[in-house]
């Protein structure tokens, strides 16, 4: 098994595994959400405490799926699907973050593949949408790789580094079975 050295000199295998996010993961989750690249690349304000993330997790647990990516026993990413209200029960909104030190190592792809498998198979969802900063080229490329397309752009969507930044709205739509045969 391939080994890599993590910060602090700890050796670990680089195999990515996915599992459900648990309440005991909130310290590691808070650490990831406070990283400079995560704060800059997501629409989250960052610097959230484990207690704030626990409240967020408990609220969304009722209506969605929360998955974390692990490498060598360390949480290195998180992705979530938030299933929409009844009239949009075929839809979910998605969010994804990857630890700054693990960009470009397949963590985002593993998380997205896991969410899509769950959305298409277990949940029967037909639409997943997301919002991403317009200048986040690596994330946009990842989403396109998995069939997401741009549906629109919001100018001045969010404040980032003291400047209004544009965001893209992207979605992946799976064709629903034809209703004409009913």
Judge whether 24 lies within some domain.
yes
Judge whether 3 lies within some domain.
no
Give the number of domains in the chain: 1
pLDDT band of residue 163 (cuts 50, 70, 90) is very high
Q: In angstroms, rounded to a whole number, what is the distance separating the alpha carbons of residues 6 and 100?
A: 12
* pLDDT value at residue 87: 87
Judge whether 2 lies within some domain.
no
Judge whether 69 lies within some domain.
yes
Least confident of 78-92, 113-127, 150-164: 78-92
Q: How many CA atoms lie within 13 A of 69 on its CB side?
A: 27
Judge whether 4 lies within some domain.
no
Q: In angstroms, rounded to a whole number, what is the distance separating the alpha carbons of residues 177 and 175?
A: 7
Instruction: Please give the residue that has the higher pLDDT: either 2 or 142.
Output: 142
The range of the structural domain enclosing residue 48 comes to 10-181
* pLDDT value at residue 13: 60
Average pLDDT of the chain is 86
Give the DSSP letter string of 124-143.
---EEEEEEETT-HHHHHHH
* pLDDT value at residue 179: 40
Name the residue with tokens 């639409």. Answer: 127
Judge whether 1 lies within some domain.
no
* pLDDT value at residue 119: 94
Judge whether 175 lies within some domain.
yes
For residue 168, what is the domain's CATH number? 3.40.630.30
Contacts 24+ apart (CB under 8 A), 119-126: 119/65, 119/81, 119/92, 120/174, 123/65, 123/81, 123/83, 123/92, 124/90, 125/81, 125/83, 125/90, 125/91, 125/92, 125/174, 126/90, 126/91, 126/173, 126/174, 126/175, 126/176
């Amino acid at each position: 098994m391939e080994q890599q050295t993590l910060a602090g000199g700890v050796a670990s295998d680089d195999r990515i595994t996915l599992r459900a996010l648990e309440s005991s993961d909130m310290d590691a989750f808070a650490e990831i959400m406070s990283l400079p690249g995560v704060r800059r690349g997501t629409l989250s304000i960052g610097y959230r405490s484990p207690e704030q993330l626990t409240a967020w997790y408990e609220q969304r647990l009722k209506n969605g799926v929360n998955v974390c990516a692990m490498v060598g026993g360390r949480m290195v990413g998180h992705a979530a699907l938030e299933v929409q209200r009844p009239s949009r029960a075929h839809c979910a909104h998605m969010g994804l973050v990857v630890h700054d030190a693990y960009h470009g190592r397949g963590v985002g792809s593993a998380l997205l593949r896991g969410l899509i498998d769950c959305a298409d198979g277990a949940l029967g969802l037909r639409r997943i949408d997301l919002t991403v900063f317009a200048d986040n080229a690596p994330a946009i490329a990842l989403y396109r790789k998995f069939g997401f397309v741009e549906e629109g752009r919001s100018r001045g969507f969010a404040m980032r580094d003291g400047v209004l930044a544009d965001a893209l709205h992207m979605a992946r739509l799976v064709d629903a079975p034809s209703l004409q045969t009913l």
